[in-house]
Amino acid sequence: QSALTQPASVSGSPGQSITISCTGTNSDVGRYNYVSWYQQHPGKAPKLMMSDVSNRPSGVSNRFSGSKSGNTASLTISGLLAEDEADYYCSSYTTNSPYWVFGGGTKLTVL
Amino acid sequence: EVQLVESGGGLVQPGGSLRLSCAASGFTFGSYVMSWVRQAPGKGLEWVSGISGSGGSAYYPDSVKGRFTISRDNSNNTLYLQMTSLRAEDTAVYYCAKGTTYYDFWRGSDYWGPGTLVTVSS
């Protein structure tokens, strides 16, 4: 069982917006602004999409945005494109071992 | 262009050892924290070790502490992971990942290698 809880799957139609949640505790997501998000296409390495909750790396589309409220972080993708279909993982610093934890992943399907 | 290329994976028997390498290029290697993250077949991501830019500080989760050792050679831009007492549950693709800061591996990894598969089986 993963330390951070994500929905197993979400879906949306092209052009729509979707939000993926990532729920932790007050020892990780709720305490630190060190939440990052990764996109992973099948058979490929993960790609950083967001760091420090809402910092978008250079080259990542501004259709991606991050936020946090209490123990839950969120990744929102607006204007869905077919190429956004992938697995998405959140991660956070946590007070005790293992220090850096990931969510179980969310499969995004673009209908 | 930043490039990370892992090598050293393969089939190993339970209780055996393996050393992974990651050749880095395209950035000032010694200025960034580096991590190893693994992914078991069909499963999610799991961080297994991190090392500061100088190599002076290394971190592990309890699941691999005492069995895995991370190290780096900044003169040759290479990251290593020495794995001992391997178990079936260590079977995974192992990724080398570059951090975004000198020390804080938990703040995200902006470049990842393609990964190398480690299979622990008799």
Query: For the segment B46-56, what is each residue's pLDDT rounded down to a tens digit?
Result: 999 999 999 99
Place of tokens 């490039």: B3
pLDDT tens-digit readout, B13-31: 999 999 999 999 999 999 9
Helices and strands per DSSP (H, E), number in chain B: 0, 11
Residues of A whose CB is below 8 A from B63: 98
Nearest CA in chain B to A49: B110
- Chain A stretch 38-57, residues whose beta carbon is closer than 8 A to a beta carbon of chain B: 38, 44-48, 51-52, 57
Write the CA distances from B87 to A30, B1, B10, B64, integer angstroms.
Answer: 34, 36, 14, 10
pLDDT of amino acid A1: 62
Which of B46, B59, B112 has the CB atom closest to A45's CB atom?
Answer: B112
Is the bond preceding residue B61 a cis peptide, omega within 30 degrees? no
Q: Which of A86-90, A106-110, B60-64, B86-90 has the lowest average pLDDT?
A: B60-64
Q: CA A93, CA B59: separation in Å to the nearest integer?
A: 13
Q: Is A26 on the interface with B (CB under 8 A)?
A: no
Contact A102 B110 (CB under 8 A): no
